[in-house]
Structure 1
């Protein structure tokens, strides 16, 4: 499929969308005029429906046209800052017979990409940018990174990026249009059908372009380098997802943020148990869809194996060697990840401290506070004493206690009281300095006593929640750890 044909296809589909909008608007105008010329009661329904739908269409398109691209992500690096990286990119651009980018930006993503600012529906390029994910520099060898960058520059060489602007614009317009037609189901179904057709065709073109760009990558770095890069990127992306959802998501707890984002990611990816977990996950078959923008990893690897092997000198050094000072680059990209407000208000702390704060805030703080409040309401206490909740259990009023917890927002379940009780007891031990949430790069954080023994209270909490007679033993045990009978959660004192 030639570049010219791709352009015709993209523009034709985009033009067809606007023609469809114009037809509906014209039809609405026709019925409105018809009502003015020759009023009929049967016509008014069609006129109202079409006019409202046309208004929704025009409103959606106006909103899309007013959108402006935000600031570019990451950190720009000039030739004077990273001469080796720039020289590498410029040499590769010459190899694939295209102009180098005007700008290189390091980003906090497991990805490399290129973009072009264009005019005249993508026919004229004005400014080129290349984005290089810092996690890739941490993970890939020089050979592998050169292959990846060759792939991205191959998009320039094939004029793929120029077509990206109209394709993306059409995608955004179609999605906004479909969403804006919620009150007009028939017309919404029409545009949904067209959107699916557009996405299937445009994404098929994108997948073809990716395979073409892989040919450039192999011609530069060889089959082994490109195949290795794809496998590493796939596994690194899986690891980054784990890292973001289970670790970076703790940001903000206790007014803190991680002092070393990429240091933590390196630690996670270096952990043997986590490596085995990610490797196993990477072996799972990928789900494929006609709406995917990239071919599956298996398809790309199979296509690469069919390409000729070029002659080249291997370079197995870490890709970080292309940077003058990796530590400076890491710090700059980490700074770009945070808003000015986050930089001003969140303290940079070690991961151990952030995990301790984050786990307590996410698992224990609400349980401790809400159980005390529920106990206060059941027993009519003057303050939300935790012991009031214990007294409610001792008097067999567990059902009332559970009802109050549900009123406070806890989801109903048969084990609600036992679960909240266990988390609240954990919180007491943490507040008393008897236990602490401990960082683990291998898996979930663990709550440990000072001697390293894991705190496991779920069975004990279930026993206490079910047996009023067990409350006396709980009180005695917590008292031995330093809890007073009139203990009030810190959160309540701070907000009173």
Structure 2
């Protein structure tokens, strides 16, 4: 299912839900059961064949009995193996109750108030997020292990009550906020989405044949359950508000939105940009987040970003409603600009363990980025050398040197200077695919249809680029809204990406 098809289907289902919500929920439940019906039905048929083979053996029909028994034993084993998918447990630094007793105590208090299932482990990582991940120990058949994952940056950004509000929202998905049927659908929706990659990566001929149903079913079920999942976000908000209060939840939602934008648009890009000039990071991230947030708050950026967040509309890119819609649903009309808490949730809930956790996450981050950092630094230095050497005679360069010069400018984030040189190099008879695709992407960023010519040049020169470039052209026309060309390029995508 393509992105445009998904959006059209979800839009139709939203209208259907508005007209007859009870009937729509019943339909989603039926769609949810279909996946289990297929899984159990095929397994039941295989086991039935196995029993029939054993019955023939018991009645002295040896030849036919042996053939049936072996065939259906193999089939049953293959089906059971496909269904008993073991998902990787969440990764991150685990926090024991002994190391972080105050955090565990908070979770137990929220659990008691919301009457929810046990949290088996808490993991802290570097994401600006919090989530409860349910890992099924029996594949699609459940028996869940519940893991609360909290990002240290989120804990450093929020006050303790705000963090409690965020966790209470996540807990609301697992409790009675959605009703028993709604909670079940929420849970299996996440499980099916996590299993999608596993089914896509099936290797054997039988696995591909058996999981072909799921490769069709999971996107279809995702679309049908999307509207319900969005409603469940509002329900989880209401459940959290009953525990921590509307104003605290509203404060947490605004702070998470605004400070999360700072982290993704300013903090991390600013840190990684140092690789252009420094062979090693000038500072480690988690040790610097609180200071960076304080400076950003004092600068007045938080107010600007809050109003920008409130201006955004709910879209089909995510089941979460927009910030404005969530606040309106809570009855909060005048949200406050986020402030910098005197004591962060990390300081209050992690206490003596915070320095050690910070050091561990920073060390893990440094190990993770070290090779890419060094490669980026070397690449930028080489690009600067090319620009210095080739720039003075740019008008007289041969196509090979012109390509090098244009790509070097692009590496140095001088896209406006690079674009005319990229186009000239790409259009040359000896031009290469690299300059063509680079020119195409710069033009596509501004939805300029001239990009298509360069995508075509890139595809002509390097056949391996065809699937990726075709999808990029389709994405551009979807942004532009040209329905006729969307259809044309959708057909091309289906042809070149067909298995």
TM-score (norm 2): 0.54
Q: What is the aligned counterpart of 2:114 among 96, 101, 114? A: 96
* Cα distance change, pair 316–8 in 1 and its aligned pair in 2 (3 A): farther
Question: How far apart are the structure 2 equivalents of 1:95 and 1:417?
Answer: 59
| C-alpha contact 1:203 1:291 (8 A) present in aligned 2 | no
Q: What is the aligned counterpart of 2:322 among 296, 304, 309? A: 296
| C-alpha contact 2:276 2:381 (8 A) present in aligned 1 | no
- Quick check: 1:410 aligned with 2:428? no
* Cα distance change, pair 253–301 in 1 and its aligned pair in 2 (3 A): same
* Cα distance change, pair 10–232 in 1 and its aligned pair in 2 (3 A): farther
- Determine which structure has the larger helix proportion and give its number: 2
* Post-superposition offset of 1:141: 1.3
Question: How far apart are the structure 2 equivalents of 1:283 and 1:151?
Answer: 23
Question: How far apart are the structure 1 equivalents of 2:174 and 2:191?
Answer: 19
- In the alignment, which residue of structure 1 is the partner of 2:55? none
> What secondary structure is seen at the aligned counterpart in 1 of 2:227?
helix
Q: What is the aligned counterpart of 1:240 among 257, 263, 271? A: 263
| C-alpha contact 2:276 2:380 (8 A) present in aligned 1 | no
* Cα distance change, pair 331–301 in 1 and its aligned pair in 2 (3 A): same
> What secondary structure is seen at the aligned counterpart in 1 of 2:314?
coil
- Quick check: 1:400 aligned with 2:421? no
* Cα distance change, pair 118–11 in 1 and its aligned pair in 2 (3 A): same
Q: What is the aligned counterpart of 1:117 among 128, 132, 135? A: 135
- In the alignment, which residue of structure 2 is the partner of 1:335? 363
Question: How far apart are the structure 1 equivalents of 2:186 and 2:364?
Answer: 26
* Cα distance change, pair 144–416 in 1 and its aligned pair in 2 (3 A): closer
Q: What is the aligned counterpart of 2:235 among 201, 212, 217? A: 212
- Quick check: 1:8 aligned with 2:8? no
Question: How far apart are the structure 2 equivalents of 1:293 and 1:213?
Answer: 13
| C-alpha contact 2:103 2:350 (8 A) present in aligned 1 | yes
**Larger Rg belongs to:** 1
- Quick check: 1:321 aligned with 2:338? no
> What secondary structure is seen at the aligned counterpart in 1 of 2:122?
strand
| C-alpha contact 1:105 1:129 (8 A) present in aligned 2 | yes
- In the alignment, which residue of structure 1 is the partner of 2:10? none
* Post-superposition offset of 1:89: 0.8
| C-alpha contact 1:116 1:161 (8 A) present in aligned 2 | no
Q: 5+ unaligned residues in a row in structure 2: which ranges?
A: 1-20, 43-78, 203-212, 334-340, 410-414, 423-499
Q: What is the aligned counterpart of 2:148 among 115, 130, 138? A: 130
> What secondary structure is seen at the aligned counterpart in 2 of 1:236?
helix
- Offset from partner CA, 1:234-267 (integer Å, 9 cap, x none): 0122112112233235559765345421233333
* Post-superposition offset of 1:137: 1.3
- In the alignment, which residue of structure 1 is the partner of 2:481? none
* Post-superposition offset of 1:84: 0.8
* Cα distance change, pair 316–246 in 1 and its aligned pair in 2 (3 A): closer
Question: How far apart are the structure 2 equivalents of 1:177 and 1:323?
Answer: 39
> What secondary structure is seen at the aligned counterpart in 2 of 1:81?
coil
- Quick check: 1:153 aligned with 2:174? no
> What secondary structure is seen at the aligned counterpart in 1 of 2:257?
helix
Question: How far apart are the structure 1 equivalents of 2:416 and 2:109?
Answer: 65
* Cα distance change, pair 409–226 in 1 and its aligned pair in 2 (3 A): same
Question: How far apart are the structure 2 equivalents of 1:129 and 1:332?
Answer: 20
Question: How far apart are the structure 2 equivalents of 1:229 and 1:117?
Answer: 27
* Post-superposition offset of 1:275: 4.8
* Cα distance change, pair 85–14 in 1 and its aligned pair in 2 (3 A): same
- Quick check: 1:167 aligned with 2:189? yes
* Post-superposition offset of 1:199: 3.0
> What secondary structure is seen at the aligned counterpart in 1 of 2:150?
strand
Question: How far apart are the structure 2 equivalents of 1:142 and 1:236?
Answer: 15
> What secondary structure is seen at the aligned counterpart in 2 of 1:247?
helix
| C-alpha contact 1:115 1:130 (8 A) present in aligned 2 | yes
| C-alpha contact 2:103 2:349 (8 A) present in aligned 1 | yes
| C-alpha contact 1:125 1:162 (8 A) present in aligned 2 | no
Question: How far apart are the structure 1 equivalents of 2:201 and 2:298?
Answer: 40
Question: How far apart are the structure 2 equivalents of 1:142 and 1:164?
Answer: 27
- Higher normalized contact order (CA 8 Å, seq sep 6+, divided by chain length): 1
> How does 1:14-413 map onto structure 2 within 5 Å?
14=35, 69-70=87-88, 72-118=90-136, 124-158=142-176, 163-164=185-186, 166-171=188-193, 197-242=220-265, 243-248=267-272, 250=274, 255-257=279-281, 259-272=283-296, 275-284=299-308, 285-290=311-316, 292-305=318-331, 317-319=343-345, 320-325=347-352, 326-339=354-367, 365-369=382-386, 371-372=388-389, 374=390, 393=393, 398-401=394-397, 403-408=399-404, 410-411=406-407
| C-alpha contact 1:143 1:316 (8 A) present in aligned 2 | no
| C-alpha contact 2:133 2:148 (8 A) present in aligned 1 | yes
Report the more deviating stretch, 167-176 or 67-76.
167-176
* Post-superposition offset of 1:65: 7.0
